[in-house]
Structure 1
Amino acid sequence: MILYIKYMVSLRCKMMVEQELKNIGLHYVVVELGSVEILEDITLEQREALKRNLLKSGLELLDDKRSILIEKIKNVIVEMIHYQDELPKTNYSDYIAEKLGYDYTYISNIFSEVKGINIQQFIIHHKIEKVKELLLYGDLNLTEISYKLHYSSVAHLSNQFKKVTGLTPTFYKKLRRKRDDNLENI
């Protein structure tokens, strides 16, 4: 049986879900971002206990099919951008449709209707978050980051970054360095 969990986007979330499953006596086969495969059928009492305990940690057990599909879409995107060493060579719409086994137009329409933004905008926001991470913690320069994240040019990356954050990538990095320096001097 597969259970779907909203807001499960990190390794820490996975560990927390594993512990909650153990606490209520459920055995899992695999815990992935956004979903858990368990060996046995879940009783109503176990489901309610899991739902209650997950909510305490900011996670939500999903029941309706649309919400489950939205979470699957989000998890494919988060995994694609944040947890793979390299982005897919195909275009994102083909990649997402293939991963989920749905027509892209169908999932795109549902996503836009429920989330209020389209899938491409969601991808851009996550790519910018990845750029921030790489700028702050990586050894890559802006040219290498733009190549790694499949931007057509550094200018394209910089324009998107500024549109989303209001800052240039260079200014963002300097601001963060200055803040870190100030914290060290306290």
Structure 2
Amino acid sequence: MRLYVKYMVSLRCKMMVKEELKKLGLHYVIVDLGVVELLEEITAEQRALLKANLLKSGLELLDDKKSILIERIKNVIIEMIHHSDELPKVNYSDYIAEKLDYDYTYLSNIFSEVKGVTIQQYIIIHKIERVKELLIYDELTLSEIANMLHYSSVGHLSNQFKKITGLTPTFYKQLRDKRKRNLEDI
């Protein structure tokens, strides 16, 4: 039996979900990307208890099919951008459709209807968040970051970064360096 849990893809969240399943005596095959696959059927009482306990921890057991699909789309995008060493070489639309085994137009329409942004806009927002992380780590040049995230050029990355954050990547990095120096002076 499959359950869908809304949570950030993190080891801490996975551990919390596993712990709640253990408390209820439920055995799982996988707990990954917001999906929990159980070995046995879950009773209505166990489901209600699991839902309540997860909610106390800030996690949500999803019931409606659209919400489940939206979370699956979001998790594929987050995994692709934040947790992969390299982004896929195929179009993101092809990658997402293949991962979820749905027609991309269908996924795109539902996502836009529910979230109020397109999948493409959501991807851009997460790519910029990834750029911020990489700028903070200060291990890669802007050129290397642009290449890693499949931007056509540093200029394209910089334009998207400024559109989303209001800052240039260089200015963002300078702010980070200034904060770092201020903390060292304390």
Q: TM-score, normalised by structure 2?
A: 0.97
Amino acid at match of 1:110: I
CA distance in 1, matches of 2:185, 2:171: 21
Q: Which amino acid aligns with 2:120?
A: Q
Runs of 4+ in 1 over 3 A off after TM superposition: none
Mapped partners of 2:39, 2:176: distance in 1: 46
Counterparts in 2 of 1:19 and 1:138: CA distance versus 1, 3 Å = farther
Q: CA deviation at 1:138?
A: 4.5
Following superposition, the deviation at residue 8 of structure 1 comes to 3.1
Residues 35-94 of structure 1 show CA distances to partners (whole Å, capped at 9, x for unaligned) of 111111111121111111111222110011111111111111011111111000000001
Q: Which amino acid aligns with 2:11?
A: L
- Secondary structure (helix, strand or coil) at the match of 2:4 reads strand
Distance 1:56 1:141 in 2: 42
Gaps of 5+ in 1: none
The C-alpha deviation readout for 1:6-53, integer Å capped at 9, x for no partner, is 133222211111111111111111110111111111111211111111
Separation (CA, whole Å) in 2 of partners of 1:157 and 1:79: 20
Task: Name the SS for the 1:152 alignment partner.
Answer: coil
1:18-167 alignment, distance < 5 Å: 18-167=18-167
Corresponding letter in the other structure for 2:23: N
Aligned residues: CA RMSD: 1.0
Point out the more displaced range, 65-74 or 44-53: 44-53
Q: Distance in 2 between matches of 1:57 and 1:141?
A: 39
- Are residues 1:176 and 2:184 paired? no
Distance in 2 of aligned mates of 1:69 and 1:105: 13
Whichever residue aligns with residue 16 of structure 2, its letter is M
**Whole-angstrom CA distance in 1 between matches of 2:57 and 2:160:** 33
SS of the aligned residue for 1:25 comes to coil
The percent identity for this pair of structures is 77
Which moves more between the two structures, 8-17 or 157-166? 8-17
3-state SS in 2 of match to 1:4: strand
Structure 1 residues 12 and 138: CA distance shift in structure 2, 3 A: farther
TM-score by length of 1: 0.97
For 2:185 and 2:166, how far apart are their aligned partners in 1? 28
Q: Secondary structure at the match of 2:30?
A: strand
